Amino acid sequence: MAAESSRGSPLSAKQIAAAREYLRGELRRHSHWPDLWNLRGLLEAWEGHLDRARSSFARATALNPSYGTARWNLQWIGLLEGRAPTSGESVELDAGENTPVQSRELLGIIRNRSAGVPVGGDWRPPNPSLAFAGMAMAATGRERDALSRAFEWLRAILPEGEELVRDAGLTRRDGSLHRKGLAELGIPERLNPDHSALLRLSGRLEERRGRDREARRLLALAALLLGDPALFQVEWAVTESRRGRGEEAERLLRRAADLRPDWYRPHLLLGYELSAQGLPAKALPCLERAAALCPRYPDVLYQLGLVQHAVDRNADAMRSFESALECNPAFLVARIALANLLFDAGRADEAAPHYEQIFDEGMTTPHLAGCFGYSMHAAGSRNRAEEIFLEALSGDPDRAEVLTLYGQFLAETDRSTEARAVWTRALDTGPSEELGRRIRRWLGQVSVKE
């Protein structure tokens, strides 16, 4: 699988150039994102520009002082430059979406490697990420037995390790290892599990070009650096889903959830996939599990709310949207969803402040304008409601949903004649069958009262 690509560098010159161009454009647009600066530092370190890498990692930590991964990368660069960190500076690598690695031990290994101290051939770390690092370091030497022993150990402690090594293009057809590609990962400048982020970026860029085999190789290699086969299953499931292969994506995500049941992302993406297939009841337990594992992640809570609404659990959905907004008050789509559910539940007065904030953010649609106007009326702001309706209709006078709610507002403020005229106009716009029935019913009620 992709063996030809792996005989050279794990990243080709074209792939490095593509990643550099992508990061340049992203940083122009999002210079305040620490993840992008960390990625740029990784690319610069990969190319051997340690001073530039140090500057990029420092920028990432300045933007987010609690960014453990970037702080660890600064220590790593310090070691490569001959400046060992003090014990007080040592930090644990931020796990994030990745399997945690034994960062202190890895820093010691890099220090020894920089000093020319070899790793023993029988080294058997319990951490799969370190085991793969040992395999890469063994490939830099001439002793084939050490490499074979390292590979045997990786297979022993890492589920699907042999398959990942094959998918990463690191084996020949006869099952023997490609030493050169491995050896390029065994030098101190490459001994960093966070290079997984750079490889994942390159894999996604290859996928955009339609080069799925090369994308698969890079994503498998990224998973090996972290010793995490679930990461590969998740990343490749995203590709399968984008290609319209939902059943395969579902299979991969279920496997990832089995491998790492306490990682929220397989459950979240499985919920996405099942929901997209029109199976909200099956998606619900997946998203409930994701929310339980990651209760402060607004997008997880928002997706859970959408599925709860789809299975008619609207009270639960409202609580999920409220929780998402507690985590991120600027999460506009969650606020819209909450406002609409409150409105549909006959709690328009409670929806009013949400609609007001939505409009303050510049989000306007005919549906939202109608709901906003009627909500302000329900909240007791008659004049403001009138302003909202008239402004909405001045821009688009033939919106049946706005006219319908405006007519309801007029009828409830003792202006039945105006309400009848507005509802008649709404019928002339050709509303949906269901909306038309409601309008005729209200017209009949107004006539009876008169």
pLDDT tens digits along 339-353: 999 999 999 999 999
Is residue 176 predicted with pLDDT exceeding 90?
no
The reported pLDDT for the residue numbered 37 is 98
pLDDT score for 120: 62
Indicate the pLDDT class of residue 96, thresholds 50, 70 and 90.
Answer: very low
More confident: 129 or 9: 129
Per-residue pLDDT tens digits for 379-415 = 999 999 999 999 999 888 899 999 999 999 999 999 9
Which two three-digit tokens encode residue 287?
């998203």
100-104, 152-156, 183-187, 216-220 — which is least confidently predicted?
A: 100-104
* Sign of the alpha-carbon torsion through 295, 301, 305, 308: negative
Of residues 290, 343, 285, 292, the one with CA closest to residue 318:
343
Q: Rounded to an integer, what distance in angstroms lies between the CA atom of residue 262 and that of residue 243?
A: 27
Say whether 177 sits in a helix, a strand or coil.
Answer: strand
Instruction: Give the pLDDT confidence of 17-46 residue by residue, as tens digits.
Output: 999 999 999 999 999 999 999 999 999 999
Start-to-end CA distance of the chain, whole Å, equals 80
Q: What are phi and psi of 171, to 5 degrees?
A: -125, 155
pLDDT value for 92: 41
CB-based contact 137:189 (threshold 8 Å): no
The per-residue pLDDT for 187 is 86
d(CA 307, CA 325): 17
User: Residue 393 and residue 379: Cα distance in Å, rounded?
Assistant: 21
Look at residue 90 in the predicted model and tell me its pLDDT: 42
Q: What's the gap between Cα 26 and its chain centre?
A: 16
pLDDT confidence band for 89 (50 / 70 / 90): very low
What pLDDT does 94 receive? 39
Q: Average per-residue pLDDT in the chain?
A: 89
Q: Are the C-beta atoms of residues 440 and 405 closer than 8 Å to each other?
A: no
Q: Whole-angstrom Cα distance, residue 331 to residue 264?
A: 20
DSSP type of residue 115: T
448 — pLDDT class (breaks 50, 70, 90): low
Looking at 209-297, list the stretches that DSSP marks H as alpha helix, in order from N- to C-terminal side: 212-226, 229-242, 246-259, 264-276, 280-293
Residue 291: CB partners within 8 Å, gap ≥ 6?
Answer: 297, 300, 301, 304, 320
Tokens of 137: 């370091």
